[in-house]
Structure 1
Amino acid sequence: MLAALAVLAGCSASGEPEAAPTTSATPTETATPTPPPTAEPVPRPEADACYDLTYDEVVAPVADDQETVRCNRAHTSQTFRVGRIDNLVEGHLLAVDSDRVQDAVAETCTDRLRDAVGATTEQLRLSVLRAVWFTPTLEESDAGADWYRCDVVATEGADGLASVKGSLRDVLADQAGRDRLGMCGTAAPDADGFSRVPCRDDHSWRAVSVVELEPGDYPGQGAVADAAEEPCRSLAESRADDPLDYEWGFEGPDKQQWRAGQTFVRCWLPD
């Protein structure tokens, strides 16, 4: 989900009642019943495997028939962690699609992304890289699959993925990677034509700094704007060739984004 692999397996049985046996004076041979098919667990995903997935595939919690591609070819997703689901809570086995299991996987994948791409928290927030996660389907879980998979993707626009070549491991550890996969915009963040793109693509603005907001309840749009104004304006002034002629912008969370965990503002400058 913003991400389970392979063939579905399961057991099947007829819902019709068996016919009553008939008697005969002549001895007959009794056919040996065929045992029902046995479900087999889906193989665990491979760490560092790459996939060429669509946006719809990565925002789904499970995805069938995902085929790996070579990481030196164009791809949109790379696995950075494969772990085991812990769905035993106080002696009760939770379903793999329960909110508690899915939330735990989401938290783990999100928390581990920073180290996987070699970034600080701010560097990650100023990039287009995001974590997605996958778990087995209910049928696969019933067959014994107990894994979860964390992937990293590069987002593009509101609902797109950018193709990349090569491994994304530690890609933000150097300036070249941050310049390539930093978060840039096609216009100012408050413009109608604004769209987030990787900085390797054509752009006119760039996210350059992060302002942390006080934790707690959502403070409202006015308070978010007030918190952003001084630090973003000061940063723009310090980088301007003419301290009397400069532009700056900011991008802050709305109430829904706040609930999703974005409790910070991005400062933007022309680039």
Structure 2
Amino acid sequence: MRSVLAALALALALSACTGEDPGGDEAPGGPSASSSETAPTAKRPRAPRQGACYRLRLDDALSPTTTRKPVPCRRRHTAQTFHVGRLDLKQRGRTRRVDAPAVQRQPARRCPARLPGFLSGSRDQLRLSMLTAVWFTPTLPDAEAGARWFRCDVVVLGRGGALVPLRIGLRGALADPDLRERFAMCATAAPGTKGFRRVPCGQRHSWRAVQTVDLPGRRYPPAPQMTARMDAPCTAAAQEYADDPLDYTWAEERPTRSQWRAGQHYGTCWVPQN
């Protein structure tokens, strides 16, 4: 729908710039347009600005394109642009469309890789937070007009997947103990139970993610193999977190097959929190 509306807006803009004079204001017998003159061409759309903030909804964040306008970061917003890169449309000697899978994979690789640096945190700190990257590319009409950018935004996921509203910028958030705690990954119930919902630790919760465990191999591992791999690290993390290292509880969360295919090759250790 956004692409259709953008195409309509671009078509209207171009029709207004053809140089024709529908009002007939030229005096009779006046000079006519020279054959050497050409109609103005559309300007290349501006690239997004790094550091800009936006008021996005969840459906916006899941879309490959967005036409939302930036808002001041001191006002209510849900996303901040942490990187603007350039798309390479030339693939194996061919010029691809901006919506081609090979082109869309470029921001899908680069945006998550750049997020820890923007947040001033480690990979594990990011995994144990509700901060995540989303990305956008130009609409097809904007790409045809010369746009070659891609935009990486950071958002905070809240209850039910809703985006958490903010009034601050997120640069360096994981280096700030208060913000790191506020946006850490917690849950409303134990993993695998009906009431399990991930939430930022700044919201009401009863469980907390305390450790991630890398799972080796390219193929999706059997459940017993993942459990055996996670047992020792999860036990150690639970003992460290507990008031009494002899009295502790923990639960594992293994990646699903779809998560594994999407690149999540690690499990998460959870502990109850009063």
TM bracket, shorter-chain basis: 0.7 to 0.9
Residue 159 of structure 1 aligns with an amino acid whose one-letter code is G
Give CA-to-partner distance per residue, 1:174-219, whole Å, 9 cap, x none.
3222101111111112221111111111111111111111031111
Give CA-to-partner distance per residue, 1:60-97, whole Å, 9 cap, x none.
00112x12111112211000011111111233211111
RMSD over aligned Cα atoms: 2.6
Aligned-partner SS, 1:152: strand
Take 2:245 and 2:219, find their aligned partners in 1: how far apart are those partners? 36
Which residue does 1:9 correspond to in 2? 10
Mapped pair 1:134 → 2:128: no
Q: Percent identity?
A: 42
- Is the 1:9–1:40 Cα contact (8 Å) retained in structure 2? no
Take 1:163 and 1:252, find their aligned partners in 2: how far apart are those partners? 29
Which residue does 2:60 correspond to in 1? 57
Q: Aligned to 2:91, which of 89, 92, 97?
A: 89
TM-fit CA distance, 1:229: 2.3
Which residue does 2:25 correspond to in 1? none
Mapped pair 1:42 → 2:45: yes
- Is the 1:52–1:77 Cα contact (8 Å) retained in structure 2? yes
Take 2:209 and 2:220, find their aligned partners in 1: how far apart are those partners? 22
1:74-85 equivalences in 2 (<5 Å): 74-85=76-87
- Count residues in correspondence: 252
Which residue does 1:20 correspond to in 2? none
The 1:37/1:223 distance shift into structure 2, 3 A limit, reads: farther
Which residue does 1:25 correspond to in 2? none
Take 1:179 and 1:10, find their aligned partners in 2: how far apart are those partners? 48
Residue 61 of structure 2 aligns with an amino acid whose one-letter code is V
- Is the 1:47–1:82 Cα contact (8 Å) retained in structure 2? yes
TM-fit CA distance, 1:238: 3.6
- Is the 1:10–1:139 Cα contact (8 Å) retained in structure 2? no
Q: Aligned to 1:106, which of 105, 108, 128?
A: 108
Which residue does 1:256 correspond to in 2? 258
Which residue does 1:268 correspond to in 2? 270
Residue 270 of structure 1 aligns with an amino acid whose one-letter code is P
Take 2:11 and 2:149, find their aligned partners in 1: how far apart are those partners? 18
Between Structure 1 and Structure 2, which shows a larger proportion of helix residues? 2
Take 1:240 and 1:60, find their aligned partners in 2: how far apart are those partners? 41
Take 1:179 and 1:222, find their aligned partners in 2: how far apart are those partners? 32
1:176-255 equivalences in 2 (<5 Å): 176-255=178-257
TM-score of the aligned structures, taking structure 2 as reference length: 0.84
- Is the 1:129–1:155 Cα contact (8 Å) retained in structure 2? yes
TM-fit CA distance, 1:270: 1.6
Give CA-to-partner distance per residue, 1:25-56, whole Å, 9 cap, x none.
xxxx9x86997774332211111000110000
- Is the 1:113–1:152 Cα contact (8 Å) retained in structure 2? yes
Which residue does 1:165 correspond to in 2? 167
Mapped pair 1:115 → 2:117: yes
Take 1:263 and 1:72, find their aligned partners in 2: how far apart are those partners? 37
Take 2:119 and 2:144, find their aligned partners in 1: how far apart are those partners? 33
Aligned-partner SS, 2:155: strand
TM-fit CA distance, 1:59: 0.6
Residue 200 of structure 1 aligns with an amino acid whose one-letter code is G
TM-fit CA distance, 1:143: 0.6
